[in-house]
Structure 1
Amino acid sequence: MTMKAALLRSFGSPLVIEAMPDPVLGTGEVVVDVVASPVLPYMGEVLSGERRYLLQLPLVPGAGAVGRVRAVGPDATRLAVGDWVYCDPTVRSRDGGKTPDITLQGLSARGDGGLHLQRHFRHGGFAQRMLIPTESAVPIGPITPADAGRWCALGLLLVPYGGLLAARLEAGETLLVSGATGHFGSAAVQVALAMGAGCVVAPGRNEKVLDDLVRRFGPRVRPVRLTDDQDENRERMRRTAPGPIDCVLDLLPPAAGATLVRTAAMTVREFGRVVLMGGVGMLGGDDLQLPYPWLMRNNITVRGQWLCPPGAGHRLTGLIGSGLLDLTQFEVTEFPLDEAHAAVAHAAADGGPFRTTVIRPDQC
């Protein structure tokens, strides 16, 4: 049997819609009928090669998907045909021990080990069907097909959720989100409040987005309008917080400079935590420089975090199921699979906070 998929044959070439063989199920794997797949705002930069991601071509792109289980391997004891699942694109080697190799299915690989994984778990969600590891199938409970696009926001929300778990955010604490007006930063504000943050300090230059964050989530969001003076910015962030800032989560994109990351990080209190998740420095530019005496004398913990830990998807769906995290905040624009190229262009042009672009392979 065959299926339709959007295929990338070479960097910079348009996606081609064509027939491909159906995935072949193996032990430890699940085949999913894809109903909706999110389109990242920067997917066009990935497909053009601008992001320089490690990808073996040809490849079906698409970081994650929402769909229904079509078939399960013999070692699956809980999943059943017809279950609604989120397809987590983070694939880890099962023999990696404490340092597994990782590939992001349909998006990128990390190092040679990730490329080895990508040879098998290569194709992403821009297709009618998708083969994923059993552990990547996250049950989301019964939903209607019309809601599948909104559930694609899980892929976005999981990124800051991983950072907040790394920060050990506790209920009642004050968090500063560096990059709060961006695609991932605005999601971090929502997730932190759902986890019980007492206050989220949200610095940014886009006043419209800052005002919208307050409108959506209320007075626990404290906006800070940034200037060109970094000393003034640091004081504004500290003054806006109701008390000491317990932790800082940085989600600034590659185009941002390291100076603003440092400004935000140095607002944290003594014994505070700083988690770095953004893309600063990935495309060149100055590296982050934090003063050794300040780190040592104030007992600051600085941690890098790439994506989320295993099992985070199950925990995040619990926040959604309890009503603490509201997916109706997201405005969804849908495209059929045949218009995948238009979907990528739309995501780049309209990829602001709480706006999601999805491809619907069930609407060919």
Structure 2
Amino acid sequence: MSSQLPETHRALELISTEEPLQVKTFQTPQPGPGNAVVRVLAANVISYSGDIYNGKRQYPFPKPFVPGSNAIGRVAAVGPDATTLTPGQLVLLDCTIRGRDDPSAAILSGIIEGFTEGSRKLMHGEWRNSSYAEYTKFPLENCIPLNEQHLLGSPSAGGLGYAAEDLCQISRFLVPYGGLDDIGLKPGETIIVAPATGQFGGGAVRVALAMGASRVIAMGRNEAALKQLSALSDRVVTVKITGNEQADAEALEKLGPAEVFFDISPPMAAGSTHFKSAIAALGHSGRISLMGGVRADLSFLYSDFMHRNLSMKGTWMYSRAQILNFIKLIDSGLLPLGQKAGLTVRGKFGLEEWKEAFEVASLAGTEGTVVIAP
């Protein structure tokens, strides 16, 4: 089932990390079994996009390709085996694409090709191009239906009054939700979030509040960002990472034992002292969620883990079931978006303005969202 698709469309293409991205004209993708073609309304720009596509972060991906991320779009055409998706429907495009015959083979569309032969096959083949484009092709299961009437509808008519670019904020919350759900964060628990001053760490603070945490201890080095987080709720308290492991552990312990420590450290935080400080502040049977990008060995005291009955779980992104459950938090209003949540759209840029979009995103902090609207 399909609507009329244009013969061509425009998209950003990365040819080399040593060259600037270019806006080019491509043949518009066509729907087939297991996929849909979506008209992109707004695509999320993560804070370190510039470092991905200039090679600084050294993410593996095929070249040339169309970069991108999670996006909000409208279904333009669907393959013959679509059973619920229909043209015109508002959807969230989930960039975590998994092998249907091997879910452990996973890519982040437009960002990274993964680390197995299976995942590389996904990104070098059918799912090479992503969402910084007027039209994109995504697997049916990665097109998550959204309740347009409720989410975009006027508050006077019972809607939440969001714009498409507000819905792009879902990305910063969905990632930490995967780890918080995996670690089983429960209402009434105390959680340490570190570092909490980036987009995903700040998102974790908000998600933990929505999931019912009685206290969220936000750790970080950026005092201005910590102050913004403390203003969210009287359930948020902050602890600055000083680099003094013992002092930071004592500051955390004064706030009482925590049940959960959620870490989403960037690669450059490999030597940070906050890992051991936060683990020391956990109570008996504490749980640790690792979702960061650290590529280094981390040590811990074996007997301490054993005697205190601590557990640790790594999570990369989230499952489709978790997406569907998370959308309920958004629909219910328990996790607000946009201005009512103090979140601002710092920039809405066209394809030709990609460089400015990346620059603004790098400075957007925990409260700002930047999107590319093809």
TM-score by length of 1: 0.93
Give the deviation of 1:311 after TM superposition: 2.1
* Separation in structure 2 between the aligned mates of residue 35 and residue 52 of structure 1, nearest angstrom: 29
* Separation in structure 1 between the aligned mates of residue 88 and residue 138 of structure 2, nearest angstrom: 15
2:114 corresponding residue in structure 1: 110
8 Å Cα contact 1:173/1:199 also seen in 2 = yes
Give the deviation of 1:14 after TM superposition: 0.6
SS of residue paired to 2:188: coil
**Counterpart residue identity of residue 203, structure 1:** M
Give the deviation of 1:315 after TM superposition: 1.4
8 Å Cα contact 2:244/2:273 also seen in 1 = no
Deviates more, 1:85-94 or 1:261-270: 261-270
8 Å Cα contact 2:11/2:351 also seen in 1 = yes
1:186 corresponding residue in structure 2: 202
* Separation in structure 2 between the aligned mates of residue 73 and residue 209 of structure 1, nearest angstrom: 45
8 Å Cα contact 1:343/1:359 also seen in 2 = yes
**Counterpart residue identity of residue 326, structure 2:** L
2:368 corresponding residue in structure 1: 355
1:210-359 mapped onto 2 (5 Å cutoff): 210-215=226-231, 217-240=232-255, 243-256=256-269, 257-281=271-295, 286-328=296-338, 329=341, 330-332=343-345, 333-348=347-362, 350-359=363-372
**Counterpart residue identity of residue 335, structure 2:** L
**Counterpart residue identity of residue 62, structure 1:** G
Q: Does 1:100 align with 2:104?
A: yes
8 Å Cα contact 2:9/2:26 also seen in 1 = yes
* Separation in structure 2 between the aligned mates of residue 351 and residue 163 of structure 1, nearest angstrom: 23
8 Å Cα contact 2:220/2:226 also seen in 1 = yes
* Separation in structure 2 between the aligned mates of residue 41 and residue 158 of structure 1, nearest angstrom: 16
User: Structure 1 residues 146 and 288, CA, compared in 2 at 3 Å: closer, same or farther?
Assistant: same
1:267-325 deviation line (CA, Å, top 9, x unaligned): 211111001111222xxxx5211110111111110111111122222211110110100
SS of residue paired to 1:227: coil
* Separation in structure 1 between the aligned mates of residue 92 and residue 84 of structure 2, nearest angstrom: 15
Count of aligned residue pairs for this structure pair: 351
C-alpha RMSD of matched pairs (Å):
1.5
Give the deviation of 1:258 after TM superposition: 4.3
SS of residue paired to 2:187: coil
Aligned match for 1:147, one of 163, 170, 183: 163
TM-score by length of 2: 0.91
* Separation in structure 1 between the aligned mates of residue 36 and residue 162 of structure 2, nearest angstrom: 23
Q: Does 1:156 align with 2:168?
A: no
8 Å Cα contact 2:36/2:75 also seen in 1 = yes
* Separation in structure 2 between the aligned mates of residue 146 and residue 337 of structure 1, nearest angstrom: 23
Give the deviation of 1:110 after TM superposition: 1.2
Give the deviation of 1:255 after TM superposition: 1.2
**Counterpart residue identity of residue 181, structure 1:** T
Give the deviation of 1:244 after TM superposition: 2.2
Q: Does 1:123 align with 2:124?
A: no
* Separation in structure 2 between the aligned mates of residue 63 and residue 127 of structure 1, nearest angstrom: 11
SS of residue paired to 1:270: strand
**Counterpart residue identity of residue 351, structure 1:** A
Give the deviation of 1:146 after TM superposition: 7.4
* Separation in structure 1 between the aligned mates of residue 315 and residue 105 of structure 2, nearest angstrom: 15
Unaligned runs of 5+ in 2: 1-6, 154-160
SS of residue paired to 1:10: coil
Give the deviation of 1:206 after TM superposition: 1.8
Quick one: percent identity of the two aligned structures? 38
* Separation in structure 2 between the aligned mates of residue 211 and residue 52 of structure 1, nearest angstrom: 33
Aligned match for 2:32, one of 16, 26, 31: 26
1:2-56 deviation line (CA, Å, top 9, x unaligned): 1000110111211100101111211110111000001111111111112111101
